[in-house]
Structure 1
Amino acid sequence: MDPMRAVYQRLLEAYGPQAWWPAETPFEVIVGALLMQQTAWRNVEAAIRNLKAAGLFDPATIAAAHIPILRKHVRVAGLFRTKPARLKAFCRHLLERAGGDLATYFDRPVDEIRADLLAQDGVGPETADSILLYAGGHPVFVVDAYTVRIGRRIGWFHTDAYETVQRRFEAHVPRDLAVYREYHALLVVHAKTVCRPTPRCDECPVRTRCAFGRRRRRGRARTIK
């Protein structure tokens, strides 16, 4: 079995299905992705709850809302001087591009949608691909810092260049929407619990496939001798 597919299977066995992204609608995924930058997920959830409670949770109402009102509700997600304006601008774009209808917005070639997303203020490759994968239902592999950390330690690549890492995964893992969603989520949970900045290699379910882990074990063996 391909090494990347084998690691996916082992992580799935170790952690189980993650059912990520935790959202009720594609629009909620988009809002979460826009607010997620440089904050913890719990803060995003709090901001989403605030927006829902205020009746500000569709493209039209957010696009029409005054920035101070949006700022009040999303402040908990951080970057309160930029995120409200970006959220409002993105919702305006959805209205202008597709009348606020997400099915229409995502019913285009994936490269066209991705270019459109990247043209919006505050949307980088990771955010764009998260929206494509989890809101749009397009099988594109999302790369983040966790993906890079794990992949480099295992020895799959020696770069943090987004497109290079993404191409590597997409070349080795079949383009399956459910698999791409699950694999990304599994890498996140693995990086947060085991493959941390200071890794817990002895607890790692893929340690036998990891170049970093093997080097660590050899180093310990030499020390013991």
Structure 2
Amino acid sequence: MNTKIRSDIEKIRYALLSHYGPLFWWPGNSPDEIAIGAILTQNTAWKNVEKAINNMKKATLLSFPAILQCDTTILAEAVRPSGYFNQKAKKLKILAKKVCQNGGKTITDFLKGKSTAAARKQLLDIWGIGRETADSILLYADNRRIFVVDAYTKRIFSRHGISAPDADYEIIRKMVENAVPADPAAYNEFHAGIVNLGKDFCHKQSPNCGACPLKALNPLPGQLT
């Protein structure tokens, strides 16, 4: 990776830290709750995930043994606020079955003793878990040194000339991991800052570049659509 790209990524990271401060993302009281949230957040806003998680808490379903034993229709109704609730209930049931195999009870049990590459492959082999979801679980639920790439990352990096609009997930992930210190806390805060920037300023349509904390770093001021 060339020196300019590395420098640009670090400049963005420091600007986000300066603007937002520590964000303490991901919300969740346990690794299992974080892993469940990583599935529920697919194709929806976090506010909807919070409603679904609250429903699961009330029904004492925030553990993989409980999910495994629960009737799928009851689980689907609990996660309804997150959208695609039948699919997400199925995904949670499949993950719960994998987690609870061989006497396991938690996502930590499921990932323990495996390298990050092996743990990632194990997650990706499960139906309904793609790269962003797998990496979210690894970083936020298991404190692994892996960066999460999402639509906000692709949009911001593309607009700042760091990567192409259609750049592959793995290319962007490796760029960040080569530029940022290999520390889960650094990856955590950087991703959280990117998410907040995407919500607050770097909108898909009509980005607010004039007020953006990355304004000084924007190579194309006033030209974004």
Indicate the residue corresponding to 2:213 in structure 1: 205
Residue identity (%): 38
Indicate the residue corresponding to 1:74 in structure 2: 79
Letter in structure 2 aligned against 1:192 = K
Figure out how many residues of one structure are paired with residues of the other and give that number: 216
Indicate the residue corresponding to 1:58 in structure 2: 63
Distance across 1 between alignment mates of 2:103 and 2:7: 40
Indicate the residue corresponding to 1:114 in structure 2: 120
CA shift, 1:39, in A, is 1.2
Indicate the residue corresponding to 1:170 in structure 2: 177
8 Å CA contact retained: 2:12, 2:214: yes
DSSP 3-state at the match of 1:191: helix
8 Å CA contact retained: 1:97, 1:105: no
Distance across 2 between alignment mates of 1:12 and 1:135: 22
Letter in structure 2 aligned against 1:127 = T
Matches within 5 A, 1:1-225: 2-96=7-101, 99-107=104-112, 108-158=114-164, 159-197=166-204, 198-213=206-221, 216=223
Runs of 4+ in 1 over 4 A off after TM superposition: none
TM-score by length of 2: 0.91
Q: Which has the larger radius of gyration?
A: 1
Distance across 1 between alignment mates of 2:85 and 2:223: 42
Indicate the residue corresponding to 2:3 in structure 1: none
Letter in structure 2 aligned against 1:162 = Y
CA shift, 1:98, in A, is 5.9
8 Å CA contact retained: 2:64, 2:100: yes
DSSP 3-state at the match of 1:81: helix
